[in-house]
Amino acid sequence: MEFFDNLRSCLQATQSPNGELRQNAESEIKNLRDQDPKKFMATLTREIADESLDVGSRQMACIIFKNFIINRSRDSKYEGYWINDLDNQFKVQVKEAIISMLASP
């Protein structure tokens, strides 16, 4: 799997008290999502699983992942994305990663 290297810094910036920095990070996260949704999901999964990352960033990655899966943004291009557009092997990899994370602190 390929990953977005800059997503981690965006996750950390979403927690900033600086509103402008936070908004820029949120915008960049949406850009990454739109650039390559599959890579975006893989990167979020990796960030959630990385126990060396601070808890706040991991929680933010979880929220973004959940919202993307259920299409919280109501973006028509992602309607049914998880169900219809991803191959089964990728879904299995993500599911296995998430299940293994349940044992994580």
Q: Do the domain assignments include residue 1?
A: no
The larger pLDDT score, comparing residue 51 to residue 85, is at 51
67-79 pLDDT per residue, tens: 888 876 677 777 7
Q: Do the domain assignments include residue 2?
A: no
Is the backbone of residue 70 left (phi > 0), alpha (psi -120 to 50) or beta?
alpha
pTM above 0.85, yes or no: no
Q: What is the number of structural domains in the chain?
A: 1
Q: Do the domain assignments include residue 11?
A: yes
